[in-house]
Structure 1
Amino acid sequence: MFIKKSILSLVLLLTCIMAAKAQVKIGFEVSFKEPQAHYAEVQMNISGLVKDYVDVKMPVWTPGSYLVREFEKSVEEFKATAGGKTVKVEKVRKNTWRIFSAKAANIKINYRVYAFEISVRTPFIDETHAFLSPTGIFMHPDGLIKSPSTVKIIPFNTWTKVSTGLEPVAGQQFTYKATDFDILYDSPIEVGNQDVFEFMAAGVRHEVAMYGGGNYDKEKLKVDMAKIVEEPTKVYGENPNKHYVFIVHNFLRGGGGLEHLNSTTLGATRNAYNTEAGYKGFLALVAHEYHHLWNVKRLRPVALGPFDYDNENYTTNLWIAEGFTSYYENKYMHRAGFVDANGFVSDLAGAVGTVLNIPGAKYQSAASSSYDAWIIGYRPNENSKNNSISYYSKGEVIGILMDLEIINATKGAKSLDDVMKAMYLQCKTLKRGYTDAEFKAMVEKVSGISFTNFWAKYVNGVDDAEYVKYFGYAGVDVTSENATPGKPVSGASGQLTNNGTIAVTSITRNSAAWAAGLNVNDEIISLDDVTVNDALTNIRLKSPMLSLEALPVVSKKNIGDVLKLKVKRDGLDKEISLTLKENPSVRLKATINENATPAQKAVFAKWSGK
């Protein structure tokens, strides 16, 4: 009887708690009094949360960009009223404000956010538009991350449009709803006069919101972006959205993207759409971010959701989340018809060559790169290329090798596509992310072979890719040659200064400069007694950044020759002698073998999806 009463009491308590949470209403109004000064005015209204005090918190990072960015640093003039009266506010943590509401049923919070960092992951506001990256704008009551909320946007008086993946509230202009804060934080909002057009693909309505102008052809983009959308939908067998939004920021020079649950933010170069490289580059970015609809947002490492918005969320599997997505953008570009077979294999061989040429690839594994994203990946320094490797780059290479291994082992019956689809369905069924062991187990189930050695070499190890072997499975011959045969290299790069010197910015591990003790921040005054200004005579540089090999005084030397430098270090003169070395970098060339065996052709057909 006691146990039954205890259980009944617990059920009643939980019921009361759930009912109390259900009565809580949270709403935001965002307006722009001074957009030219880069401010958003935010009003947060909370009702039904009857407590002595209420804590509200702002995320310190944004999912998809693995660095604690401290968004709370941009919050100003935080104040609150409870029951219509001004109440005490105390900041109790770097990203937490405590409102002493004295059990008032209604709380109104006002604060301003300064937004002047151009990126796909941070808010930006000026007189022309507002990009609201939500983790840098909104807050949530502590403990109520699963509560619904509404957002009302009040555009500046010259703005007329709002674009977002959030669901609109019927009958209320520019008002949207989110079922919980995970949804709100995953739904960027573009406000202004963006050029908006739509297309249908995979049964889904797609909206494209173009800010910043550009020489794009809307009708062409509708057709070509639709082709991209169809490809990953074929791989996974379903498209999880009814409405998807591309927010595209066109700048003088732009790039990058950030994935969201039913939208993405892309950076693009406004006048590059009419060039082959620029247009294909944009479509490849679309392919990359759209693939994240599945890989990362739904097919995800177990650590990436539910999110802890206060701290780092560590995982060793970003090489799958991002690296495989980089690989798949190549597959989709080929399958959609934008890159031919020769271009496809050349691009992938180039990806392998890129990793081979980064010294840090021999010191950091893909798993370690993933885990250390929070401290290294988004905070590169002058030595990063020497001791670390991007999980994008390393993961892409692992994806290439793994795909070919699976296809070869199954004689063309299965591929990495089957693994990705199976893992997507597993995550959907279990309603959680995967572990590294679960992903490996699925690879082995689909392929029918052990991947223990593969994991040891390429995921947790730092072995160079056996590209001849793996590409050979598909009848693709890959050869290697020195990137600059017979040419000496110093291993030092720098930037021209106004003083007519070269400020050293990078030293490559085990290079001539590395061995001789040339340092980053040294200022090179002369090379073999030739001043930098004289060494640059009759040379036209495209940028102030250059390697020493760009100077004839260096390039005319032979491997093994000595280069004498006069440098200034910390205000003191110093002489350094470099014995020039052969360039350790390689260039890979991929060629489809016309005499490939039927088995190799079967592998290639499955690999390319053609």
Structure 2
Amino acid sequence: MLNKIKLILILTIMSEMVNAQQKINFNISFTEPQAHYVGVNMKVSGYKKEYVDVRMPVWTPGSYLVREFAKNVEEVAATSGSKKLDVRKLNKNTWRVYSKNADFDFNYRVYCFEISVRTSFVDDSHAFLSSTGIFMNIDNQIRQPVTVHVAPFKGWEKISTGLELVRGKQNTYYAPDFDILYDSPFEIGNQDIFHFTASGVDHEVAMYGGGNYDKTNLQRDMAKIVEQETAIYGENPNKHYTFIVHNYNVGSGGLEHLNSTVLGASRNAYATEAGYLNFLRLSAHEYFHLWNVKRLRPKALGPFDYNNENYTTNLWIAEGFTAYYDKLMVHRAGLQSSEGYLSALATDISTLENQPGKDIQPLSESSFDAWIKLYRPNENTKNSSISYYNKGAMIAFLLDLAIINSTNASKKLDNVMHDAYHEFYKKLNRGYTDQEFKAILEKTAGISFGEFYKDYINGLKPLDYNKYLGYAGFTLENTAVKNEPYLGIETTKRNDRLVVSNVWRGTGAWDGGLNVNDEIVAVDDVHISADDLAKIIAGKQVGDKISVQVLRDGLLKDLSVVLKENPLARFKISPVANPSVKQLAVRKKWLE
């Protein structure tokens, strides 16, 4: 046994010595930013092999879609000193370099012209580099340390990233492995940078694109949100954190990273109450991911396979719970009233209940199928699926109230998140399974959630909102107009032509055979313009039969449609008249 231990120790030391000799260094340059290109030089040394396989990831963690980043790669070449090496492409994202036991440079350019929080964009004003679409790795060497040197374009003076600077080297950053590199985007240009300190952590906010934001307000209010979220988990694991904010005419979306995030915002919306609240909620959402998903995570989400889909049924926890907490954190930080929070929650309930897909796709399945459905919506998406963000948030809200009620207002969902983080990330350093997370829920609540999971997560039973709101002395009411006639389509205007863009399941239009892309020409033999349809339907009664003439693929078609009652709900949450002592205690614990 002793000899075996010595052998293992020797092999470990030898492996570490080999790894120390192997080096990967990137140099990033911009010779044609106006044409949206970034140049990448990958210096590979210490890999004494006949050939080395170099790979580009096909997706980015946090955005569950194979995006085929290699499609943007051009001008691949490899050299060793002055000698050009043979390079052959093996598959869609892998290049084999015949290095012949020599160190080599692997050079390529990447076209960057897709505006989103998960894809790279370069022009003459700035560069945003989403690392999974820029940096290649060597096959089976994800754990290899990496340095990145950035040579900004002429006139660009600032670099914002979560990576650590290499001491003594200008614009050079260090990542202990490719997982960290791929989790660290870069903003390069002349972004407006300001800082705030919260929970003992320095936070950098890098604003690109201008906007009517007030730095003082953001510093104060973002800090409040950070403090509230840190309080749930009992610690903030970062030394520093970077918000990269892209302000566009119309911007949205966010993508979480280990110690940074990228946010899309509308540059002129900060001065409005709704716009400012939306930005704070987005910031709260992505910051909450610092714990939930980046550290506390489903077992399937790490270590990552960057070449294939990584399937999990638990995105309703990773994203849905985070979507629940984003609004709650803004409320807890004192930035929105209880009434405002309940109104926003009622809107989220309406969103889910008005989606026909809620009766078709279970929540766990929506997570598993994220790779083929959520990021690839079509004209039938609302009829056949739901979002694990939206329904997951509703599940979190029901579980929160269930836990508070069952523990006589001594515990809530916060305790679950805290305990799961410390158990799986801090203690076990791994992700959780579906059953393990359920066990922590049940341990905290002191009750079984077996039926809850069967009905609401793996099944299609309608959510009983009033049961759970009743624990806190609230009731849910549908305030929509009754007996309103409804055709059941969404339309768009094309050169003053009225074209069907969506047909809702179970409506008169669905039953009567209206199709997406039909051009509505007439109703009851009367020609209509794009603005006439709503007025005509409003003048009818539920049960009326109308004839609809459409132009489909150049041919006229007559359809008979029976108008049904408008099924779309508009919910409102109200307090009950005489809440009990326990209801008031649950309410206080929930909305404190």
Shift, 1:440, TM fit: 0.3
- Alpha carbons of structure 1 residues 342 and 6: separation in structure 2 relative to 1, 3 Å: closer
Shift, 1:434, TM fit: 0.4
> Partner of 2:506 in structure 1?
510
Which aligned pairs between 1:197-208 and structure 2 lie closer than 5 A? 197-208=194-205
Q: Out of 93, 99, 103, which is 1:101 matched to? A: 99
Please tell me whether residue 312 in structure 1 is matched to residue 312 in structure 2. no
Q: Secondary structure at the match of 1:418?
A: helix
> Partner of 1:112 in structure 2?
109
Extract unaligned runs of 5+ from structure 1.
538-547
Please tell me whether residue 26 in structure 1 is matched to residue 24 in structure 2. yes
Q: Secondary structure at the match of 1:231?
A: helix
Please tell me whether residue 256 in structure 1 is matched to residue 253 in structure 2. yes
Q: How far apart in 1 are the matches of 2:458 and 2:142? A: 35
Shift, 1:13, TM fit: 4.3
User: Is the Cα contact below 8 Å between 1:30 and 1:152 reproduced in 2?
Assistant: yes
Q: How far apart in 2 are the matches of 1:68 and 1:215? A: 36
User: Is the Cα contact below 8 Å between 1:554 and 1:563 reproduced in 2?
Assistant: no
What is the letter of the counterpart of residue 77 of structure 1? E
Q: How far apart in 2 are the matches of 1:337 and 1:14? A: 53
Which aligned pairs between 1:581-596 and structure 2 lie closer than 5 A? 581-593=564-576, 595-596=578-579
Shift, 1:605, TM fit: 1.2
Q: Out of 468, 471, 477, which is 2:469 matched to? A: 471
> Partner of 2:428 in structure 1?
430
Which aligned pairs between 1:532-571 and structure 2 lie closer than 5 A? 532-533=528-529, 536=531, 548=533, 551-571=534-554
Q: Secondary structure at the match of 2:408?
A: coil
User: Is the Cα contact below 8 Å between 1:493 and 1:505 reproduced in 2?
Assistant: yes
Extract unaligned runs of 5+ from structure 2.
none
Question: With structure 1 as the length reference, what TM-score do the two structures score?
Answer: 0.95
> Partner of 1:453 in structure 2?
451
Q: How far apart in 1 are the matches of 2:53 and 2:270? A: 47
Q: Secondary structure at the match of 2:549?
A: strand
Which aligned pairs between 1:187-266 and structure 2 lie closer than 5 A? 187-266=184-263
Please tell me whether residue 291 in structure 1 is matched to residue 288 in structure 2. yes
Which aligned pairs between 1:138-537 and structure 2 lie closer than 5 A? 138-427=135-424, 428-481=426-479, 483-498=480-495, 500-533=496-529, 536=531
Shift, 1:335, TM fit: 0.4
- Alpha carbons of structure 1 residues 5 and 201: separation in structure 2 relative to 1, 3 Å: closer
Q: How far apart in 2 are the matches of 1:530 and 1:77? A: 60
Shift, 1:8, TM fit: 5.6
Q: How far apart in 1 are the matches of 2:7 and 2:445? A: 52
What is the letter of the counterpart of residue 464 of structure 1? P
1:254-291 deviation per Cα after TM superposition (whole angstroms, max 9, x unaligned) = 01100000000000000010000000110010111110
User: Is the Cα contact below 8 Å between 1:501 and 1:532 reproduced in 2?
Assistant: no
1:581-609 deviation per Cα after TM superposition (whole angstroms, max 9, x unaligned) = 1011222111123631110111111112x
- Alpha carbons of structure 1 residues 235 and 521: separation in structure 2 relative to 1, 3 Å: same
Q: How far apart in 2 are the matches of 1:346 and 1:515? A: 34
User: Is the Cα contact below 8 Å between 1:294 and 1:424 reproduced in 2?
Assistant: yes
1:315-369 deviation per Cα after TM superposition (whole angstroms, max 9, x unaligned) = 0000000000010012101101111111222222322222111110111111000
- Alpha carbons of structure 1 residues 20 and 84: separation in structure 2 relative to 1, 3 Å: farther
What is the letter of the counterpart of residue 512 of structure 1? G
Shift, 1:12, TM fit: 4.1
User: Is the Cα contact below 8 Å between 1:352 and 1:465 reproduced in 2?
Assistant: no
What is the letter of the counterpart of residue 536 of structure 1? D
Please tell me whether residue 77 in structure 1 is matched to residue 75 in structure 2. yes
What is the letter of the counterpart of residue 318 of structure 2? A
Q: Secondary structure at the match of 1:266?
A: strand
- Alpha carbons of structure 1 residues 39 and 559: separation in structure 2 relative to 1, 3 Å: same
Q: How far apart in 1 are the matches of 2:240 and 2:92? A: 36
> Size of the alignment, in residue pairs?
591
User: Is the Cα contact below 8 Å between 1:348 and 1:400 reproduced in 2?
Assistant: no
1:495-552 deviation per Cα after TM superposition (whole angstroms, max 9, x unaligned) = 1112x4222111100111100011112222222233333x637xxxxxxxxxx5xx21
Shift, 1:9, TM fit: 5.5
1:403-444 deviation per Cα after TM superposition (whole angstroms, max 9, x unaligned) = 100110000001010000000001221000000100000011
Q: How far apart in 1 are the matches of 2:384 and 2:82? A: 57
Shift, 1:373, TM fit: 0.2
Q: Out of 52, 63, 66, which is 2:64 matched to? A: 66
Question: With structure 2 as the length reference, what TM-score do the two structures score?
Answer: 0.98
> Partner of 1:542 in structure 2?
none
User: Is the Cα contact below 8 Å between 1:342 and 1:591 reproduced in 2?
Assistant: no
Which one is further off, 461-470 or 344-353?
344-353
Shift, 1:6, TM fit: 7.1
> Partner of 2:590 in structure 1?
607
Q: How far apart in 2 are the matches of 1:532 and 1:71? A: 46
Q: How far apart in 2 are the matches of 1:4 and 1:219? A: 63
Shift, 1:172, TM fit: 1.5
User: Identical aligned pairs, as a percentage?
Assistant: 57
Which one is further off, 106-115 or 6-15?
6-15
